[in-house]
Amino acid sequence: MANFYCKWCGQKYTNVQSLTAGSCYNSPSKKHELYEGPEQRNYYCEYCGNKYSNLPNLTAASCIRSPTGKHIPYEGEEKSQYTCKYCGNKYSNLPNLTAASCSRSPTGKHLPAK
Ligand SMILES: [Zn+2]
Ligand SMILES: [Zn+2]
Ligand SMILES: [Zn+2]
């Protein structure tokens, strides 16, 4: 059976209805929201590229670059090359991509496309 995770706190549910019905301490909307990426061995922060082995650990830790102050999971798969969704620059890993400045991104840093 598939598992569903909240993208803000990493809590696991067996169906989307109970996930979206629950309240979430970490979410800007105060509700759990569905993490739409794949279940994988490693999870990365979309804003800084830090790697964690599970979503609860990732979402609990502070992030210097994220708009919420916590890491937010990257919802794409692990790949050999990552592309900035604002300018198309390519990098071989997420920490390098998210650390470099981007003239087109609203945050001033590259952000990965899924
Ligand atoms: Zn949550
Ligand atoms: Zn982060
Ligand atoms: Zn960019």
Domain assignments of the chain as residue spans, ordered by start: 79-114
Task: Give the separation between CA 4 and CA 10, rounded to whole angstroms.
Answer: 9
CA of 37 to the centre of ligand 1 (A): 15
CA of 30 to the centre of ligand 1 (A): 8
What number is the average pLDDT over the span 62-77? 96
Angle at 106 between CA 101 and CA 112, to 5 degrees: 65
Inter-residue contact 57 to 75 (CB < 8 Å): no
CA of 27 to the centre of ligand 1 (A): 6
Inter-residue contact 71 to 50 (CB < 8 Å): yes
Q: How confident is the model at residue 43 (pLDDT cuts 50, 70, 90)?
A: very high
% of the chain exceeding 90 in pLDDT: 98
pTM, two decimal places: 0.92
CA of 45 to the centre of ligand 3 (A): 16
Model pLDDT, residue 2? 84
Residue 50 has pLDDT above 80, yes or no: yes
Model pLDDT, residue 1? 64
Per-chain residues with Cβ under 5 A from ion ligand 2: 45, 47-48, 63, 71
